[in-house]
Structure 1
């Protein structure tokens, strides 16, 4: 009986400790039409580092987007679809202006929140932001939030 009580106490303590931990973002997965174009956009334009992925089938690319978080691109989308700007992923950069110059160099369209081309929005808290779409039409916000 003492063993059962001890086992129950250990399990209760473990469950309580686990329940108190906050969830951590593990990954975001996006379904893409052309894995090569999508990979090039996130790797070469947004300068996000790729990381090894376990499938090695040519249909997956993984990126590190945080200390413990990844972005997974998975080739299986039938075609590019239109997405709402309110549904987006966001990355912070040291200089929105520097990224705008890179986007201009590569002739990549970006806009303000209201849709004004080649213009940044300044939020009420002073953070500068632009919006662009990846090759599959997913909205990406880029801002200079310093956290």
Structure 2
């Protein structure tokens, strides 16, 4: 039997209530670059995630809901401290895994991580994994 080629991530879709607000958030917080959006319907923003694929923001969520922190998107940055300065300059609160405001979790392997929410309440992790 021939070995199947593994699938690769194409995109992640996040359903949002306010496309403009979420586009500004993801672009401003993470520095993601917008890429061509084929639908051209005013209901989508696409960002490049490099080799990982793309992030699609889709307008249409009816209301914010409570999300569990276990269900999150994670992005790595070169410096968690520099990233925290960016969050702080934008008045975006963050916490450690346990929920302590303004704290950083250090994993057993030494990776530092923080958690915060996007405008719709989706949980995001940012870490300094190399």
The residue that corresponds to 2:31 in the other structure is 47
Residue in structure 1 matching 2:9, options 25, 29, 49: 25
Report which of the two structures shows the higher radius of gyration computed on alpha carbons. 1
Hey, what's the Cα distance between the residues in 2 that align with 1:54 and 1:68? 19
The residue that corresponds to 1:92 in the other structure is 76
What are the ranges of 5 or more consecutive residues in structure 1 without an aligned counterpart? 1-11
The residue that corresponds to 2:109 in the other structure is 125
Offset of 1:131 from its aligned partner? Answer: 0.3
Residue in structure 1 matching 2:67, options 83, 106, 111: 83
What are the ranges of 5 or more consecutive residues in structure 2 without an aligned counterpart? none
The TM-score with structure 1 as length reference comes to 0.85
Hey, what's the Cα distance between the residues in 2 that align with 1:42 and 1:138? 12
Offset of 1:68 from its aligned partner? Answer: 4.7
> Once the two structures are superposed, what CA deviation does each residue of 1:94-132 show, in whole Å capped at 9, x if it has no partner?
001001111111110111001111111000010000001
User: How many residue pairs align between the two structures?
Assistant: 130
The residue that corresponds to 1:62 in the other structure is 46
Root-mean-square deviation (CA), in Å?
1.2
